[in-house]
Structures are given as C-alpha cells and as structure tokens.
Structure 1
Amino acid sequence: MQNPNPPSLSDKWALILQSAIKSRDPFIGRCIHAPIIKHGLCLGVFLMNNLLNFYAKTGFFSDAHCLFHEMPLKTTFSWNTILSMHVKGGHLDSARQLFDEIPHPDSVSWTTMIVGYNHLGLFNTAINTFLRMVSSGISPTQFTFTNVLASCSAKKALNVGNKVHSFVVKLGLSGVVPVANSLLNMYAKCGDSVMAKVVFERMRLKDKSTWNTMISMHMQFGRLDLALSLFDQMSDPDIVSWNSIITGYCHQGRDIKALEMFSSMLKSSSLNPDKFTLASVLSACANPQSLKLGKQIHAHIVRVDIDTAGAVGNALISMYAKSGAVGIARRIVQLTGTSSLNVIAFTSLLDGYVKIGDINPAREIFDSLKCPDVVAWTAMIVGYAQNDLISNALALFRLMIREGPKPNSYTLAAMLSIFSSLASLDHGKQLHAVAMRLEEASSISVGNALITMYSRSGSIKDARKVFNQICSYRDTLTWTSMILALAQHGLGNVAIELFEKMLKINLKPDHITYVSVLSACTHVGLVEQGKRYFNLMKNVHNIEPTSSHYACMIDLLGRAGLLEEAYNFITNMPIEPDVVAWGSLLSSCRVYRNVDLATVAAEKLFFIDPNNSGAYSALANTLSACGKWEDAAKVRKSMKDRAVKKEQGFSWVQIQNKVHTFGVDDALHPQRDAIYRMISKIWNEIKKMGFIPDTNSVLHDLEQEVKEQILRHHSEKLAIAFALINTPEHSTLRIMKNLRVCNDCHSAIKYISKLVKREIIVRDATRFHHFNDGSCSCQDYW
C-alpha cells in the first residue's frame, strides 16, 4: 500500500501556528516567522493567512499590521482577520475604513461589523449595516441574525425585527435554536407576546434559554400563572429559570411569593443562589416586617463569603434602609466604600434618612460619591425638599448647574415642584427658561410640573399655554393637572368642558381626575353635574370612590346649602368618614349658620382628632355668627384649657425674589408706617365708592368701630398695601394666604382692584380669586 504524501513544511508550520493560537503561546508563533521568510514561503497565501491570524489573535497588533501590508496577495480571509482584530479592539472607525477597502466583502465581513457596532451599543448603526448587507445581495448567516436581532431588541425596533424574521424564514434558519431564541427574545423585549408565543410553539428544539425567555416575558407582563406553568414544565430548571420567577414576583410586588420560591429552590434543587438571586430576595425583604429574614440572608452571604462590593452589597444597603435599619445600611457603606454604591441603594439610604428626619448623613454619602450621576443629584435635591430644607435644595441645584451633570426632566420637575410649594412665579419662569434651553420643556414630567407651578403661582394663563403645547401626548396626568388648575382658579365651567373633551377623545380618567372635576363642580355650584360625574366614575369607569371623592361630594352639597343632604350622604357612606368629611360639613354649617349640624360635625371631629384647632374655631365662629356669644366663649375656653393652639392666619407676597409675610395687625415689617398709611387711605377711598365693611366677619362681641379697625388690618389687606407701594403701576399683584379669605376682605379687594386699576390675584386655602375691575372670578361663590 502506497503511503500518502507527507505534509509539506508549509503545512507543518500552519499546524504549529494553529496550535499556538489554541495554547495562547506567543513565542512559538513568533519563532516560526523568520524561518518562513528564510525558506521563501512568504508568498504562500495559506501560510501567511495563518501567521496573520496568529498575530491578530495573540495581541501582536503592530506585527499583524506590518505583515498584512507586506502580503503580496490578500484574500477575503486576510481582510476579515485584520478587520476582526480592529473590531475586537473597539476601533470601529479604523475598522470601517478597512471594511470600505475590502474588494469583495463576504458575510463574515459584514457580520464582523454588525457584531462590533452591537457590542459598543451602536444598535441603529448595526441595524443599518444589516440592511445594507441585504441590499448588497450578501446572505446573512445565523451569527448575523443573532446579532442584528439583539440590536432590534435593544432599540425595541419591532418593524425591523419583523423584516429580519422574514429573512430567517426565507433562508430556512428558523429551526436553528440560537436564531429562534434570538427571535423569541426580540419579540419579548419589544412587547409582542403574541408573536413570541408563535415562535415558541413552532420551535421543535428548545433549550433552557428558550424556556427562560418565555418565563421572563410572562413575568414582565404580569402573567404569573403562565410563567409558573412553563417553569413547572421544565425538567431541570437552571439558576436563570429560578431567578426569572423570583425576580418577576419581586417586580410585581409579590414579595411573599418571591421568598417562597427562594425557599423552594433551596429545598428542591442542588443549585446555589447567585448574586442575582440574592439581590432579588433581599429586595423582597425590604420592609420592616421582613427585616429578620433579611438578616438571615445577610448571615448566609457572610457565611459563604459572597462578594458584597456590587449588586449584593447594594441590595443589602437598600434592604436595611427600607426596613428602617439605616444605621446598619450606613455601616455596610463604610465597609464596602462608595465606589460601587449604585443609585438605587443611595436613594434608598437617602429615603431612610429622610423618614427619620436626619438628612446630614445622606449628604455626607452624596459628597463622598466620586461621580454622582443625575439620578443621585436629583434624589438628594428631593430629599432636601421632603424635609422642607428648601434653601439647601436650591443651593444644591445651583451647584449641579455649575459643576454637576446636566439636569434631566425629573430634576427639573422636582425643582418646579419646590417652586410650586413656594408659589414663586419668578423662579418658576427662570427654571422654565432653563428647561427650554435643555430641550426638556416639552417632556411630559416637566410639562405637568410647569402646569402645576404656573397654576399654584397664580398664572393660569401660562398654565394653559403649557397645556396646549403638550396635550397632544394624551397623558391622563396632564389633562388632570389642567382640569384641577382651572377649577382652583374659578374657571369651573371651562374645567368641565375640558373633562368632557377628555372623555370624547377616549382618554380614560383616573381617580385623581375625578377629584379634580368634582372640585370644579364644587367651585361653581353645579350640584347635579357633580352627582352625575360621581355616578359615572363608579358605574362606567369602575373607580371605587375614596375618601377624597366623598369629601368632594360633601363639600359640593354643603356649599350649595344642602346641609341635610350632605349629612345624610356622610351617614350613608360605605367607609368611615374622616376629618376632611366632617370638616367640610362643619365649614358649610358656619357659612349657612346651622348651629345644630355644626355641633354634630364638631363633636365627630373632636372624637377623631381631639386637638383639631380648625374644629374649635369653626364651631365658635358659627355660634358667634348666630349671636350665641356665651356658647362661643365656652368653646374657646375649652380650646384654651386643652392647650389646643389656633392656626394663625397670615398672608405673603413675593417682590424681587424676596418673600414678605404679614399677620393681622402686623407691627414688625420695616415699612409698617407706610403700609398703615396706605391701607387707611385705601379704606377711606373704597368706602366713598360704596364699600360697606362686613363687621359680621369679626366674630367677637365688640364695638363696631373696633371691629372695623380689626377688619382694616387683616393680613391680606396689609400685603396688598405693601405690594401697591413696592410694585410698578398697572402690574398684577399676587397675594398668598394660608386660610380662607373672609367675606369682608373678599368684598374690599373687589373695590380695591377697581380703585387702583390692577388685577389682584389672591390664593387662599382652597382656591384662587382673580379680582379685576370690581369683580371676582369666583362670582362670589366660594
């Protein structure tokens, strides 16, 4: 028998090079290069391609480049080898230049570029490269498909994914498990559960990745029963399978089920929990009731020596912080350092400190973060705001603008919320300009915050402008914010028209929308309309009324003088009436001077909240208004004996970024004398115009002259006098008050607006009053 031809020297060296690549031995390969040249074998394409491949895969990039440029003859394999080296090194720009120089790029060339773009997160470029590849007549391989489908998943590009799917079917690759799994993952990530199910059911061969993708998808969509059914069908679920179920339960708020599945995993399988399992079960323990179990899991982590520098450490910090054990969470931060502290853990820790009212340690941690991102900055600002540390929040935001990352829509919305609470229109407008400059003003969160800020600062006109710019987004909160704003500014009929338009375009209202529209009916006295909306909410939109909805209905009936009906409504409520419900009835009883019902409502309030100063004041004022001075005095004495402090009324106005606050008979302001001269002058002028002081608003048994002096020095009148002295003529005055404006002030301000020819906007405890040329937007119904 004749022996086969022995391998040539070229073949031997090619085999050695291939072996050196596998063994990652850089020295053997380099030793061969010189003999190849010496023996004149450098013209052989096969051997030179092997040498080029060796240099590229062992990290000798400069040697690979030199060899590539010296090769007299290059094949597509040569080009692909050097192209792959550039791509794996992350040098996409030079890789693209090389790709454009390839005489005849094949499927490997195109796929290499797609893989490179995909790994660097340039998903759109990867997808476009695939489309160019197909247009060039090059058939994709299974590796091309898995990578481009990964890009479609990342960008949620369902339309392109559908086209890729058609190519897969056309080329007969739908039965290839990795390709089918990529299709399945793409449909799941894009939210098309129907097509995901079709792909899954058509797969003849399924691996664990197939099952895990379907389980994860069902969990993500809240179909827990379907996910559990698939999980039970798996013969040997792996750790990813268990994690999908446990994490899914956590995301759906089913913490107990998550912990039960974790316990079942420990009992029924030999699998050890990994860092993802532990992070999920720790998040399920993030409440005071499960703190003991969380500590046991922490002990297990310490016992098996699991690294706590990353996800597990952050989950431990979040768990302890959310469970009220902020001190332990802080110690873990000190042990692990802040370099691996993620935003979720930081915000949990911050929230923990906020709840106990100790914000300084949170700021220390924030300051220790090397490069806090925009979420951390925002969380710290919100933490200050929640603790009423407004100046700190403002200072941190200014520091963020100067030195930190660019604020995002949530940062801006948080700051606008602060300005809303301050009713600071000037600051709010400045921040609106910042949002426009950052191109965030049209985002939903910022737009909604702007509507609220402008509304609470007294500029309903600007609020409507913002709404008109973003209403096309069909966001329920946007429409709800605008309806509530219109209602609070006395434009109840316009608010109701907007609500009807909302229903017409099939934008479903939520429970907050109904609170807003019922408030609108309350402010304009549309009792029957309010009743219709209440029934619509229950019977058509299937929204169960909350205490807020019931309080709106009581207020609606009470303000309209239907006190008995309001009382019957309270007694027939399916839920226990709260302070707001009885308070609304008591307030209406004071307006309509119904002593008997006022007494009943007050007694109910005292039972729920014995220290409710508003109940004492309202009952005493009702008795005083009906001339029952002795009974009123007894109520006030009872209030004093029980050390219940009455809420003091005050008003404030902001001028040139400074807030000026006034109480009744205020004697502390630096411009006191000028203010009192101004209000005395105004008082005499409006009396000449026909104003008659409503001395019944002074609910004390005093001489008429004394009553009139008290009325003249009410806090909102003093604020108006100060604003008239310190603002340009014809400019709008914006006055804020913490309590309901009294009848006398309401009447006086109408006359003042006509006298000084200015619009005066007064925000009291429940609404805005726009006074202009002698009339008010509430039409004297408030």
Structure 2
Amino acid sequence: MSLRLSSLSNFKRPLYLWNLMIRDSTNNGLFSETLKIYSSMARNGVLGNSFTYPLVLKACGRIASFRDGTKIHGRVIRLGFKEDAFVQTALIDLYSRCSEIVHSRLVFDEMPVRSVVSWNAMISAYCHGPWMDRALILLKEMRDYGFDPNSSTFVSILSGFSNLTASNKYLLLGLSIQCCLIKHGLEFSETSLTNSLMSMYIHFGQINGACQVFDMMHDKSLISWTTIIGGFLKVGNTAEAFRVFHQMQYQSTDIDSVVFLHLASGCVQVGNLRLASTVHSLILKSGCDEEESIENVLVSMYAKCGDLSTARRLFDLVNEKTISLWTSMIAACASSGHPMESLELFRKLLRTDIRPNVETLATVLSACADLGSLSMGQEIEGYILLHGFDTDKRIQASLIHMYSKCGRINKARGAFERVKAKDLVLWASMINGYAIHGMGKEAISLFHKMLKEEGLKPDAIVYTSILHACSHSGLVEEGLNHFKNMKEESGIDPTVEHYTCLVDLLGRAGRLDSAFEIIKGMPLEARQQAWTPFLNACRIHGNIELGELAAAKLLDLGLGTSGNYVLMANLYTSLGKWKEAHMMRKLITSEGLVKECGWSLVEINGRFHMFSAGNHSYLQLVSIYKTLEELNASLLEAGFIAEAMTVNNDL
C-alpha cells in the first residue's frame, strides 16, 4: 500500500495513515522521502508514537543525517520516549551509522530497561569500527547481566573481525567466538551466522577452516557459495574457485552478478583469455551483462588478460556510459601499456556531459606519469584546481607521482608540502619520488621525519620505496638496516618486491657473493624473480661464473626471456667471449623468442614523437643525429666517458 501526501488533503490525516506512508517509504529505501513525510506530519501538528520514531530514526541513520537525528532525539525525549526500548535502540543504531559511537554509548548507558536487541545494537555499533575489544567486553557484560547472546549477536561480532588486522592474536579471538557458538548450540542454527563464521576464517587466510564450515552446512545460500568462491580467489587458488562454481551450478543455485565479479577476478589472476571468454558467455546467458558493475569488470578483465581490443569493443557498445565505465576503460589502457590511448579517452570524456571523478583523475594522472607527459599533467592539474579536487589526498598523491616521473621533483615536493594533514599514502608517494630520482639521502630523511614528527607506521609499500632509493643511490648499509628493521621493528614480512630490491641493492654495489647468498635463502617465488636483477648485476661487474649460474637457473625455471638471453650475450661480449655470445643469440632464434624493438617517446609542444631502434624513416633523422654528435662532443670535452653498450638491436 503506497499513500501520497496529496491524498486526504481536505481533512487531517490520522496517525496510522502517516505511519503507513513512513513505513512504505522506509521499507522501499526512500529514506529522504521518509524524512519529508515526517516533516509534513510534524507541521500538521501530528505527534508520532513508538511505531513512528524507530522508522524515522532508521531513515536518518541510513543517510547518515546526524543533524536530523539529533533533532528527532530531542523530540522523543520531550514526548517521554526515554524508556521506550525500541526508540532507544533505534537511537543507538542512528548514532553508530553517523560514526558517533560516544553518543551511542550514552544512549545505551541511560536506558532504564534493556533487551537483547538493545545489547546487540550496542555491540554491533562497536563492531562497525575499530572498537572490537569493547564489543567483546560488552559481550561478557551482557552474559553477566543474564542475557543470552543470540545469532544476531554473533553475526555482528564475527563480521567485526573483518575490520581487524589479520594476525594470530585476533584469529585466536575468532576461534574462541566459535567455541561460544558451539556452547550455545548456535554454530549452524542460521545460514547468516554460518556465512559470517566462514568470512571470519577467510579474512585470516584460513581457507581450510572455511571449507570445513562450508562442507558442514545443511542449507547453503547464494551468499554461502559466493563467500567460499571469494575465499579461494583471495588465497590465489583459482582452479578450486571454479570447481566450486561448477558444483554450485550442479546444485541449481541461482547465480547473481557478485559471483561473476569473483569469477572475472579469477580470470585476471591467471591471465587466461579463454577462461575469460567462457565467463563472459555465462554472463550473457544469465542476462547480467547490462549491469554497471559487470560492464566495468568485463572491460578490466579483457584488458588484464591481454585483449585490449575486445575491452574497447565492449566499451564502445555501451550507449549510456557511466563515469565508472569511462574510468575502467581509461585504467585498462593505462595498465596495458597504452597511456596515449588513456589520454585520448580522457579528452573524449571531457567532450561529453559526464564529469570525471577522483578515481578518473587519479588514473589519467598515472597515465601521464607513464608517458612522461608533463604538459598534459599540468592541464589536468588546472582542471583539478578549477573543479575543487585539490583537497583530495589521492589526487595529491597522484600529482606527486606524475611530477616525479616527469622529472619535476621540485613540483612534486611543492604538491607534497601544500597538504596539511598528510596520510601514509602521501608520504610514500614523496619518498618514492625521491627514489625515482636517485635521491636516497632525501628519501631516508623524509622517512625519518615521517616516523618522528608524524608518528606514522610504515607499511610494505614505504619500505619498497626506501629500498629502491638506497639501491639507486649506493646506500648499501642503510638499505640493509631498513630491510632488517622492516622485519624486526615493523613486523612486515618481506615480499617479492623487497627481496628483488635487496638483490638489486647488493648487485649494483658489486657485492655479488652477498646477493647470491641472499637469493639462496629466499622463498621460491621471490627467488624466481631475483635471478634477473642478479644476472644484470653480473653483466655490469663482468662476473661470468655467477652470470652463467643465474642464466642456468632462469632457463631451469622456464624464465628464459629474450631479455635474459641478451643480458648473457652482452656479458660474454664484454669479456671477449664471442663464440659463447653467438651461441646465446642463436638460442633466441631456436627458442622462438622475439626481442621487442627498443623505442622511446618524446613530447614536444604537446605532440608525441616515437622513435624505434633501427627505424630510419623519421623525417628529421639527420638533424637528430647531428644534435647527438654535438652532445657527445660536449660530454667528451667535459671528461665524461660513457659505458659501452653491447646490446645488439638486430637480435
């Protein structure tokens, strides 16, 4: 039943009609409409009851209207609803959704009569933020006061673990909550509770525990299947995720867009274009292909599986493109190594009625950084300032990165200094900017300033930038100390990127034996990635023995790319071993490898000029070579002797 305000306009509406309208609009998610109806009701002098105010307060909470909520709070106090458990519980939920947890607790503490629902509302309020410890204390108090927690209590508690760091400490707390479920006989009492238990295990990376819960469920809902599929994808087990999906199909369970979003991310993980096409066909069959989230993920999926042309065709087929779809396509081009296409798409977007958002601008700034397009980056900065995006920290971090990659480290520092309340991302961006420019001391100084003055705790990305800065500045001891502190002081386990930076650090400094010992102690995945920078270091320092060992390891691992063969050939050539170098070049042909042609890109007056190795068709080639000869002569006069490059572009 849906009633309009225009009905019954000739006489005063009774309260029950106002309540029906408020109920209908709230249940249909029209929360702003609920507040309009309530406002009209108040102007007509009609007072609400215990049915009215919980619904109106719910509407305030759903749109996070703290101002309207406090006004209604004042009215319910004046009307004598302070002892009404339903109204007071609705107030707790309202303040929680407005991130006013202190107000929630004040309402809870002043309640003369509490029910299980009241306790659950306050526990849930704590679980929505970083107050999990208080939620657990309140759970204990609830039991001490003689209230037995129910399934809703534990759903809130288990869901709250997703806001915590995935550590053993919190995992043990999660397991203790499961023991409480078993003790109260609730473990498999409701599907929503069991799904929350699975999600808790998945958050902590315990996929086996999640599988045990899933296998013991009697009634598996769509959310149950989706949760376990997402869990397998989180730990990188794509094959098992698709196996569960096929089992889900066999059970004739309805499939929604969330499942397809998971499957698309699985295709991206393995980079399997054929699998991506299969998922796409299932999406078309289900009729989900016109949903905005699906359109976005299809574009990203094809691009990340190496088929940018199909991604572009899907994009062009959509008549009414949203800003999310534009952003997905711009990001797809940028991540696929086509930054020029990203910028062209952005220019095309500006000619439409759709306005870029923060994510769009951050993406296109990243494309400018990859392309080294300073002029376009400055134009986008002008757009950012004109439309008031300059206060967004993500935008500022993107500007810092863009200016750093375009060679304007002072402009990057200026953008960094303009931000008053800097977060970790901004500090990491500036540290990385110094690393790109080989300014190791400046990067380390900024890192210490971040620790001492701001009290921020560095994450894995910051440490990657610091190690990179030390590597490019020859600060070996400082780099080794930071690698040690990362593990011992910050509790961060080294990733592949950290190990690779460490090998590069030692290799550039000529400490090849130390780098070799580090590689031998690495996890397998990191070791596979570390052999290439190690081989390059062997070439630089002419160590043929360790170079041959690194090349053999790469061949055994099936990572014998054309670039690695060229590195080894150049190592042999630098030491005068022409026969061995010739054999390496022959291997490139026999293995069917193709060396990508070297190319560079130069921006002049807003236009991009591409040069590729061996291409003599450029109109201004004579003038370019003449200028190069003049530059070489100037360098020789200054006493600079360039390192002989032995890369053969004909390979």
Task: Settle same-fold status: TM greater than 0.5.
Answer: yes
Contact 1:149 1:164 in 2 (8 A): yes
Contact 2:334 2:367 in 1 (8 A): yes
Aligned-CA RMSD value: 4.0
Q: Hey, what does 2:146 align to over in structure 1?
A: 204
For the pair 1:507 / 2:456, whether they are aligned, the reply is yes
Contact 2:554 2:560 in 1 (8 A): no
- Offset of residue 654 of structure 1: 0.8
Instruction: Choose which of 640, 643, 667 in structure 1 pairs with 2:586.
Output: 640
- Offset of residue 564 of structure 1: 4.8
For the pair 1:147 / 2:90, whether they are aligned, the reply is yes
- Offset of residue 455 of structure 1: 1.3
Contact 1:320 1:328 in 2 (8 A): no
Tell me the secondary structure at the aligned position of residue 165 of structure 1: helix
Tell me the secondary structure at the aligned position of residue 667 of structure 1: coil
**Residues 429-440 of structure 1 aligned to structure 2 (within 5 Å):** 429-440=378-389
For the pair 1:232 / 2:175, whether they are aligned, the reply is no
Classify 1:241/1:280 alpha carbon distance in 2 versus 1 (closer, same or farther; 3 Å): same
In the alignment, the residues of structure 2 paired with residue 588 and residue 59 of structure 1 have an alpha-carbon distance, to the nearest angstrom, of 77
Q: Hey, what does 2:445 align to over in structure 1?
A: 497
Q: Hey, what does 1:294 align to over in structure 2?
A: 245
In the alignment, the residues of structure 1 paired with residue 480 and residue 161 of structure 2 have an alpha-carbon distance, to the nearest angstrom, of 41
Residue deviations 1:467-509, cap 9 Å, x none? 223473331x432332222122132111111122233244222
In the alignment, the residues of structure 1 paired with residue 349 and residue 599 of structure 2 have an alpha-carbon distance, to the nearest angstrom, of 34
Segment of structure 1 superposing worse, 518-527 or 366-375? 366-375
- Offset of residue 529 of structure 1: 2.4
In the alignment, the residues of structure 1 paired with residue 608 and residue 4 of structure 2 have an alpha-carbon distance, to the nearest angstrom, of 69
In the alignment, the residues of structure 1 paired with residue 123 and residue 629 of structure 2 have an alpha-carbon distance, to the nearest angstrom, of 79
Q: Hey, what does 2:28 align to over in structure 1?
A: none
Tell me the secondary structure at the aligned position of residue 458 of structure 2: coil
For the pair 1:446 / 2:367, whether they are aligned, the reply is no
Classify 1:115/1:82 alpha carbon distance in 2 versus 1 (closer, same or farther; 3 Å): farther
Unaligned runs of at least 5 residues, structure 2: 26-32, 165-170, 268-274
Aligned residue identity for 1:429: Q
The alignment-based identity, stated in percent, is: 24
In the alignment, the residues of structure 2 paired with residue 279 and residue 569 of structure 1 have an alpha-carbon distance, to the nearest angstrom, of 41
Aligned residue identity for 2:582: R
Classify 1:595/1:436 alpha carbon distance in 2 versus 1 (closer, same or farther; 3 Å): same
Aligned residue identity for 1:301: S
For the pair 1:516 / 2:476, whether they are aligned, the reply is no
In the alignment, the residues of structure 2 paired with residue 554 and residue 520 of structure 1 have an alpha-carbon distance, to the nearest angstrom, of 13
Q: Hey, what does 2:8 align to over in structure 1?
A: 64
Q: Hey, what does 1:656 align to over in structure 2?
A: 605
In the alignment, the residues of structure 1 paired with residue 405 and residue 2 of structure 2 have an alpha-carbon distance, to the nearest angstrom, of 66
For the pair 1:159 / 2:107, whether they are aligned, the reply is no
Classify 1:314/1:685 alpha carbon distance in 2 versus 1 (closer, same or farther; 3 Å): closer
Work out the number of aligned pairs and report it.
612
Instruction: Choose which of 195, 198, 217 in structure 2 pairs with 1:243.
Output: 195
For the pair 1:177 / 2:127, whether they are aligned, the reply is no
Tell me the secondary structure at the aligned position of residue 63 of structure 2: coil
Q: Hey, what does 1:479 align to over in structure 2?
A: 427
Classify 1:329/1:121 alpha carbon distance in 2 versus 1 (closer, same or farther; 3 Å): same
Residue deviations 1:681-700, cap 9 Å, x none? 5556666xx34574872669
Residue deviations 1:228-282, cap 9 Å, x none? 223323435123323322344455554544443233122xxxxx44443344345
Classify 1:582/1:665 alpha carbon distance in 2 versus 1 (closer, same or farther; 3 Å): same
In the alignment, the residues of structure 2 paired with residue 125 and residue 588 of structure 1 have an alpha-carbon distance, to the nearest angstrom, of 63
Residue deviations 1:292-317, cap 9 Å, x none? 33222223226xxxxx4xxx321443
Aligned residue identity for 1:233: K
In the alignment, the residues of structure 1 paired with residue 395 and residue 557 of structure 2 have an alpha-carbon distance, to the nearest angstrom, of 39
- Offset of residue 621 of structure 1: 4.5
Classify 1:406/1:158 alpha carbon distance in 2 versus 1 (closer, same or farther; 3 Å): farther
Residue deviations 1:60-117, cap 9 Å, x none? 8656332328xxxxxxxx5x456546645536446425414539x5766982783474
Classify 1:667/1:396 alpha carbon distance in 2 versus 1 (closer, same or farther; 3 Å): closer
Contact 2:4 2:21 in 1 (8 A): no
Q: Given the two structures, how large is their TM-score scaled by the length of structure 1?
A: 0.68
Contact 2:432 2:443 in 1 (8 A): yes
Classify 1:130/1:439 alpha carbon distance in 2 versus 1 (closer, same or farther; 3 Å): same
Aligned residue identity for 1:670: L
- Offset of residue 661 of structure 1: 3.0
Contact 1:350 1:380 in 2 (8 A): yes
Contact 2:569 2:582 in 1 (8 A): yes
Instruction: Choose which of 123, 138, 141 in structure 1 pairs with 2:65.
Output: 123
In the alignment, the residues of structure 2 paired with residue 265 and residue 576 of structure 1 have an alpha-carbon distance, to the nearest angstrom, of 36
- Offset of residue 582 of structure 1: 4.5
**Residues 351-390 of structure 1 aligned to structure 2 (within 5 Å):** 351-359=300-308, 362=311, 373-390=322-339
Instruction: Choose which of 149, 152, 157 in structure 2 pairs with 1:214.
Output: 157
In the alignment, the residues of structure 2 paired with residue 577 and residue 248 of structure 1 have an alpha-carbon distance, to the nearest angstrom, of 29
Contact 1:419 1:453 in 2 (8 A): yes
For the pair 1:697 / 2:636, whether they are aligned, the reply is no
Give 1 or 2 for the bigger CA radius of gyration: 1
Aligned residue identity for 2:71: T
Q: Hey, what does 2:223 align to over in structure 1?
A: 276
Aligned residue identity for 1:165: F
Tell me the secondary structure at the aligned position of residue 407 of structure 1: coil
Unaligned runs of at least 5 residues, structure 1: 1-56, 70-77, 267-271, 303-307, 701-709, 715-782
Tell me the secondary structure at the aligned position of residue 418 of structure 2: helix
In the alignment, the residues of structure 2 paired with residue 205 and residue 290 of structure 1 have an alpha-carbon distance, to the nearest angstrom, of 40
Q: Given the two structures, how large is their TM-score scaled by the length of structure 2?
A: 0.80
In the alignment, the residues of structure 2 paired with residue 316 and residue 106 of structure 1 have an alpha-carbon distance, to the nearest angstrom, of 43
Aligned residue identity for 1:276: I
**Residues 666-677 of structure 1 aligned to structure 2 (within 5 Å):** 667-677=616-626
Tell me the secondary structure at the aligned position of residue 653 of structure 1: strand
- Offset of residue 158 of structure 1: 0.8
For the pair 1:261 / 2:201, whether they are aligned, the reply is no
Aligned residue identity for 1:262: F
